[in-house]
Structure 1
Amino acid sequence: MARSNERLAAGAPLLQVRDLAVEFRTVDGTVSAVEGVDLDLAAGETLAIVGESGSGKSTSAMAVIGLLPGNGRVTQGSILFEGEDLVGAPESVLRTIRGRSIGLVPQDPMSNLNPVAKIGSQIAETLLAHGLATRKNVDQRVVETLAAAGLPDAAERAKQYPHEFSGGMRQRALIAIGLACDPKLLIADEPTSALDVTVQKTILDQLDRMTGERGTAVMLITHDLGLAAERASRVVVMNRGRIVEQGPARQILEDPQQPYTQALVKAAPSVAAVRLRPEVFRRPDAAAQPGIASAPAGDTAPRAAEVPDAAAEASTPDHIVEVEGLTKTYKVRGSKEDFVAVNDVSFAIPRGETVAIVGESGSGKTTTARMMLKVIEPTSGVIRFDGQDVAALKGRDLKQFRQRVQPIFQDPYSSLNPMFSIERIISEPLEFYKRGSAKERAARVRQLLDDVALPQTMLRRYPSELSGGQRQRVAIARALALSPDMIVCDEPVSALDVLVQDQVLTLLRDLQREYGLSYLFISHDLAVVRLISDYVCVMKDGALVEAASSEEIFTNPRDPYTRRLLASIPGNELDIAV
């Protein structure tokens, strides 16, 4: 396709989609995924398509670039790109357009980069395929492309493999590949969904700069409404394969007209939102004795967590967990210096309440959670659970600890055995610890399904047959099976869209109220933390830089790093309707 706009009428959009319908053939028959979609995208414009999982947003984008799965097909409508209809176009034409005229940044950088090919060779392949480099100058072009995407030491990075890159670096590599051929349109499908807020902001700023300089139009697929409002000029809202509302970004999100859009906006976590607070188990003295000290007024030094001394512990039995001087170091091959993953961290968790640990990737928050679960042992420091030193637990005491402290992991698919039915997954801990008879265990499993609002018909299904939100509910049910006192939640909603995320957070709140659960909540999403936490610990490079009540952290952050985290949240300054 020619790179000029000669075939475009004056003022015509770069991309015009009219009455688009897509269906998939399955063993159960034909499924309609997209129906009657109309949208326009002008040259240089950024358009965001938002909606929950299964709404058809990614399917619509893949139809544009001709990358539907083998069982999918466009059944009606037109897709005009630079005035040429791509529906029914020969594969040879589509191959020319992909990369050269329409670039793609897919969602998961690890699964979309070839793990056995160097990063540089993967970019070189794109440049050579479209005749934008020769064998003689391709290496230089690769370095220039990586440098433009913001990767430092681009010449060295080009020689590395994807597993040697961090998540943010892999995402930059995908952006480099997507923009390598200077396309007129870039489709970015959830380009930063798995990244922490500061890395996300850096990458999006880089993407904005690169597309702005080149005049590239962007179709941004996302479930993050704040990101859509901040980065796009227009927003399209999809539900069940149809567009329910579209218009200027701020207008759509500050004054949504359709009930579905209103529900999306209401469900979106915001740092301005109030805590989803379970009132029943909030003790009157808990707020006054949270185990996390605040700095005096006017004190700008980092606030640190404090653990009560023995006398205070005897008079204030509110803390189910006390962590003091926790440190974890690792030996580094080929280096004389150890790597300090967690450095002298202290905090306490009040009984029946939620303490969140937040920070960027590599801050040490997940390592802290693993030590709390006794999955790894600390190098030094003490973790006390109900007054007992966790490191000293053995035999019967350790077995009891394992039952009283349960985890909920980030990925609800990989943490569930795909070969087990839902019934077996939930009943497994009951069987392992020999809780009750077979009949009593079956009744307990049915009760747990009710507790997490799943129908009894789920019992015979397998994880692959469930949605992401349903799988996470199963993971929560399994964690509740042994009636624990505390649950360690490691990024439990980061992979979910806003409506499902809201449902899971509300479920966690209700379960805390019903059972008096204590939560250690690990997250990089501060807006989610604002909704779920009573107290917040902020970690950076393994150290605790600030710790206080949730209200104090979000209304009066004192450490520059905390302020930078809050400022990086997409849509933080928008007046989003609630």
Structure 2
Amino acid sequence: MSALLEIENLKIEATSYPPGEAPRDVTIVDGVSLRLERGRVMGLIGESGAGKSTIGLSAMAYGRGGVRITGGAVRLNGRDILAQGPGGLRRIRGKAVTYVAQSAAAAFNPARRLMEQVIETTLAQGTPRAKAEARARALFARLGLPDPDRIGARYPHQVSGGQLQRVMTAMALCPGPELVIFDEPTTALDVTTQIEVLAAIKEAIRDTGVAALYITHDLAVVAQVSDEIMVLRHGKTVECGPTEQIINAPREEYTRALVSVRQVEHPAKPPAGAPVLRIEGVTARYPGLAADVLSDITLDLAPGRTLAIVGESGSGKSTLARVITGLLPPAEGQILFDGRAVPPRLGQRGKTDLRELQMIYQMADTAMNPRQTVGTIIGRPLTFYFGMRGAERDRRVAELLEEIELGKGFADRYPAELSGGQKQRVCIARALAARPRLIICDEVTSALDPLVAEGILRLLQRLQQEEGVAYLFITHDIATVRAIADDIAVMHRGRVVRSGPKPQVLAPPFDAYTELLLASVPEMRQGWLEEVIATRRMASGGE
């Protein structure tokens, strides 16, 4: 069978501008080749910087951020798309090849209704409006969107994140493309929503017969939708083959490491001492809103242990962190630290309260001042809490950099010179600089590649053993919970629906919501998502 998409010996370069140095060309993709047939899905997987998105966009002859295709060939239906002029590319982009981005919220115009945006490209091809809208409504129904006949009249902010992601998939399918590029379409979604979107994507691909490139860093996700998988690293192909072979019999060490990441388990340890943190009957609501966002939350966290707060988006996990840190005073209840009630508002808390409770945020990029060096970032809490300056502070910064496995040579670097994992390690060092009793970790690995995330989790475990610090770990990823938690609290709609030691919470019998969360964790085997789709159809009375 002739291939729909053929990429041969692709080479892509960009110009780097190192501070204080002359610009130089760097190779982003080096000699990658692939072949994709009609109706098939190829998964592109690899860590950040592997070249996944760059290769995907090359199928549209597009390079963002100054990226240039400098060698090789890209053929779509036998046409050399690199040789197309502007007019030819306009006929390919948005018609023959479409694109689904990672962040649906950033891809939509907030001032225009969904239907207008979904059918825009289809109308530009000369399709009558009535026919374009009928096609869009059929896709809304196929993708499982509620009220498919009227959802197009809504604005982007009037639908959930998972629904918006499915609307963007409908927008990509509406022009009738031959190839769709899915670029991390479920990364920002919670586990239950992720499975809904994956199921919708898989069914849409199967029903429409389009070919697809599915870009992700999650091997378990790509195993559900792909017929073949290409593993990439540093812009080169590590290995490529059928999904079953890549998952069950990987040939290369790097692929075997990707497969093993989700098998990390946290060793059990007994409770030790009175709670360092007690959340006692906390109810909270945001100013101006009558409804409670947290209802009667009571939890304990012992020294040196990790309590994972688990739940889907909107369950109240991050709101609970805001209450604990004093950013949102509770309407009822109190927060006790080492048995003493702490003031409900951040501005009322003393330096000891601030020092002993630290927080590490999800997005390390926005948590650091880009104009400060790593040494300055880590050194600020040393000066604020302990009065360290000069050589004394520099020595402690160097010790902390060694603790987080970076080394003192990183002290003079700026955040822009660090990888995602290195940035998160710097944030961990900044929190440790205060010598806290408790660190709140808010989705600290969700934006990281699997191997990088595994390194961060192992680092947190080692530091806990050495420093005795307790962690409140907020996440929606059950695989991460298994790797880091001693105790678990499952939250749903502002309430704790299940809590206790990890073996107890993750063992049946389950309440309905916990069972849904556990069932929504993708497995690394083919056919699992098909089973989920079939089960849901039977439950809804479908065929």
Structure 1 and Structure 2 fold alike (TM over 0.5): yes
Q: Which AA in structure 2 matches 1:444?
A: R
How far does residue 285 in structure 1 lie from its aligned partner after superposition? 5.2
Q: SS state of the match for residue 87, structure 1?
A: helix
Q: Who is 2:253 aligned against?
A: 259
Distance change in 2, residues 1:327/1:81 (3 Å) = same
Q: For residues 30-109 of structure 1, what are the structure 2 equivalents within 5 Å? A: 30-69=25-64, 71-109=66-104
Distance change in 2, residues 1:396/1:78 (3 Å) = closer
Q: SS state of the match for residue 262, structure 2?
A: coil
Q: SS state of the match for residue 391, structure 1?
A: coil
Q: Who is 2:280 aligned against?
A: 324
Choose which of 410, 415, 433 in structure 1 pairs with 2:367: 415
How far does residue 501 in structure 1 lie from its aligned partner after superposition? 0.4
Which structure has more helix as a fraction of its residues? 2
How many Å separate the matches in 1 of 2:500 and 2:238? 42
1:132·1:181 contact (CA, 8 Å) conserved in 2? no
Q: Who is 2:460 aligned against?
A: 508
Q: Which AA in structure 2 matches 1:404?
A: E
Identity %: 38
Q: Who is 1:228 aligned against?
A: 222
Would you say 1:269 and 2:259 are equivalent positions? no
How far does residue 564 in structure 1 lie from its aligned partner after superposition? 1.2
Q: Deviations over 1:190-236 (max 9, x none)?
A: 00001111100001111111121111112110111111222212111
Q: Which AA in structure 2 matches 1:78?
A: A
Q: Which AA in structure 1 matches 2:63?
A: L
Q: For residues 404-553 of structure 1, what are the structure 2 equivalents within 5 Å? A: 404-553=356-505
Q: Who is 1:111 aligned against?
A: 106
2:364·2:424 contact (CA, 8 Å) conserved in 1? yes
Choose which of 177, 194, 219 in structure 2 pairs with 1:200: 194
Q: Deviations over 1:260-298 (max 9, x none)?
A: 1112222x224xx42156xxxx4x554xxxxxxxxxxxx
Q: SS state of the match for residue 301, structure 2?
A: strand
How many Å separate the matches in 2 of 1:228 and 1:119? 28
Distance change in 2, residues 1:44/1:235 (3 Å) = same
How far does residue 514 in structure 1 lie from its aligned partner after superposition? 0.9
Q: Deviations over 1:314-373 (max 9, x none)?
A: xxx43111122221123666xxxx222111121111110100010000011111111111
Q: Who is 2:537 aligned against?
A: none
Q: Who is 1:179 aligned against?
A: 173
Choose which of 318, 321, 345 in structure 2 pairs with 1:366: 318
How far does residue 52 in structure 1 lie from its aligned partner after superposition? 0.6
Unaligned runs of 5+ in 2: 18-22, 529-543
Distance change in 2, residues 1:572/1:250 (3 Å) = closer
Would you say 1:129 and 2:124 are equivalent positions? yes
How far does residue 461 in structure 1 lie from its aligned partner after superposition? 2.3
How many Å separate the matches in 2 of 1:133 and 1:195? 34
Q: SS state of the match for residue 377, structure 1?
A: coil
How many Å separate the matches in 1 of 2:393 and 2:148? 57
2:39·2:210 contact (CA, 8 Å) conserved in 1? yes
Residues matched between the structures, number:
523
Would you say 1:17 and 2:17 are equivalent positions? no
How many Å separate the matches in 1 of 2:213 and 2:469? 42
How many Å separate the matches in 2 of 1:518 and 1:137? 59
Unaligned runs of 5+ in 1: 1-10, 287-316
Q: Which AA in structure 2 matches 1:113?
A: F
Q: Deviations over 1:458-494 (max 9, x none)?
A: 2222222221111111111111111101100000000
Q: Who is 1:298 aligned against?
A: none
Q: Who is 2:24 aligned against?
A: 29
TM, length-normalised to structure 2: 0.91
Q: Who is 1:304 aligned against?
A: none
Q: Which AA in structure 2 matches 1:179?
A: L
How far does residue 165 in structure 1 lie from its aligned partner after superposition? 3.5
1:127·1:180 contact (CA, 8 Å) conserved in 2? yes
* C-alpha RMSD over aligned residues: 2.3
Q: SS state of the match for residue 65, structure 1?
A: coil
How many Å separate the matches in 2 of 1:89 and 1:575? 39
Q: Which AA in structure 2 matches 1:275?
A: H
Q: Who is 2:541 aligned against?
A: none
Q: Which AA in structure 2 matches 1:269?
A: R
Distance change in 2, residues 1:557/1:226 (3 Å) = farther
How far does residue 388 in structure 1 lie from its aligned partner after superposition? 0.9
How many Å separate the matches in 1 of 2:490 and 2:216? 27
Distance change in 2, residues 1:420/1:158 (3 Å) = farther
How far does residue 121 in structure 1 lie from its aligned partner after superposition? 2.6
Distance change in 2, residues 1:446/1:575 (3 Å) = farther
2:329·2:345 contact (CA, 8 Å) conserved in 1? no
Q: Who is 1:563 aligned against?
A: 515
Distance change in 2, residues 1:524/1:393 (3 Å) = closer
Distance change in 2, residues 1:518/1:574 (3 Å) = farther
Distance change in 2, residues 1:255/1:393 (3 Å) = same
How many Å separate the matches in 2 of 1:448 and 1:476? 9
2:247·2:524 contact (CA, 8 Å) conserved in 1? no
How far does residue 396 in structure 1 lie from its aligned partner after superposition? 8.4
How many Å separate the matches in 1 of 2:346 and 2:29? 56
How many Å separate the matches in 2 of 1:53 and 1:341? 35
